[in-house]
Structure 1
Amino acid sequence: MAEPDVTARLRPRRAIVGMSAILLPQRPEGGTDWPAFEAHVVRTAAAGLTPAVNMDTGYVQLLDEDDKARVLDVTAAVTGGAFVAGAFVPDQPGDDFDRGAYLAAAGAIAGRGGVPVVFPSHGLNERDDDGWVDAMRELGAELDRFIGFELGPMFVPYGRIPGLDAYRALVEIPSCIGAKHSSLSRQLEWDRLALRDELRPEFSVFTGNDLAIDMVMYGSDYLLGLSTMAPAAFAARDRMWAAGDPGFHELNDLLQYLGHFTFRAPVPGYRHDAAIVFDLRGWATGDGTPAGAPRRPEGDRAVLADIVERLAPYEDGTT
């Protein structure tokens, strides 16, 4: 469904909806740094972005049920329910789609005022596109609102990008208010934007492409892990676009440099880079990561320190 001229898709001065996946900071000695987490939820909301918790950035795959519930409780208390969160079902290869577990996870989010993001799983990934759509419809029939999630296999082994016909069916589910698209492909996202505009203009396409954050110029909103490292800078960039300020492009270039550096292979290592940024900014007590999470080489610290320094004028309003 390639368009002949994607420049026709540009949407100047559009108000961008920004959602930021929140890093769950870890203490150097092990365990979650809960005060740092709460402070970052506050920081993100104060910047004007919607906090997105229990996502890949927040190590949702590694959390037990008590910690996932605590994340939701803290976030709901801070935001008054203005948040989204991953409805994650831990399962194993070969497992069937667990409708009950998904509804329980989504209910825990909705019950606190948030919007569930239907996180991929082995059970969902085992289905063909028609089966995937059936699962989304089953959930949509029980939920007042939810956000779909296409996540590529470069992020998780059970990731999958359904075909465009399946996406069309997702857009047509009334309770699905939008979908995060994380294929890291501009063309696939442009195809989804065109379909959205044709079928349901109010449906939100949330780019998850940390390697092409300028997709907001073409009509995407965003739900990114990258923005957890610089929520105020992302918010400043978004305001520039809405105002028609050409400074948008220079700030976007700097943020994209951060994205290309931190989201290089192996992609899950971006979470350690985020932890380094938190440490550099004084937002956490160190750059700890959970056991088994990939870590970056020490040389990343100098590069990240330079980027943080260059972002500062945008974040404090002096640029």
Structure 2
Amino acid sequence: MSHPDLNLLVTLDALLSEGSVARAARRLRLSPSAMSRQLARLRETTGDPLLVRAGRGLVLTPRALELSGRVAHLVEEVEAVLRPDDRLDLARLVRTFTLRTSDGFVENFGPALIAKVGAEAPGVRLRFVPKLDKDSTPLRDGSVDLETGVVGASQGPEVRAQALFRDRFVGVVRVGHELCRGEITPARYAAGQHVLVARFRPEKGPIDDALEMFGLEREIAAIVGGFSPALALARNSDMIATVPERHTGNLRTGLFSFPVPVSIPEITVSMLWHPRLDADPAHRWLRECVRAICVKPPTDPRPE
């Protein structure tokens, strides 16, 4: 059984609403002869003449009159299906978004993000899950809606990414630590005991490479999996934590922060999502909320 050409619905709607081949042709930007050919196809498909001559004009047949309202409604429905859905009623939106982030992101940006989301869409709930690795599978399979972090080589090639902010590293010690007094030189910085943040595997990083240029090597006294435990150790011992400034702003309250005395590259923190959510109005709104919270400029680290 052959399927009818659904493009004919648009032509039929124009002919029935205009009641004229010439006016329908102008409406669809076709030539009168092309519209006449379309009318001939419609007559063959429906088995009805649809428009018949009456004096100098055309009138609708009973079948055409019966179809006119239904066809107009069908065309509206089809256009609505194919049109981008920009309608978003935040007051009525009920949805849970799952965000995969580091503990530092939740602790530093989470309260402001939750407050903003709650004020704009009371029915939306945010679910934060830990980021244990950089595998893109949770984004692909839909178990995670949005992720934050540094884009790495292991990221799936189809994953979308948008930069949120650049972050620099700062050193952090407890108030009263010997580094709170005097100039912090590479030698003084390296001489202390350090807590290393290594989520995936312990290894030397850019800080160690920069110290090697001065002929220095730091002593790693402890290894932890996140910024929060690193700062907790620094707060309650003489160890030095080196952490991203923006990512740990709230966590460093009551601690002494200082610029790292060697040159190390900044990192770019981005949000990542799967392309199937690109056009989703609710997800676009969530991305704007995250961006709005994260774009505020940082302050310089100063001794407290």
Q: Give the TM-score normalised by structure 2.
A: 0.22
Q: Give the TM-score normalised by structure 1.
A: 0.21
Q: Hey, which of these two has a bigger chunk of strand by percent? A: 2
Larger radius of gyration between Structure 1 and Structure 2:
2
Q: Hey, which of these two has a bigger chunk of helix by percent? A: 1
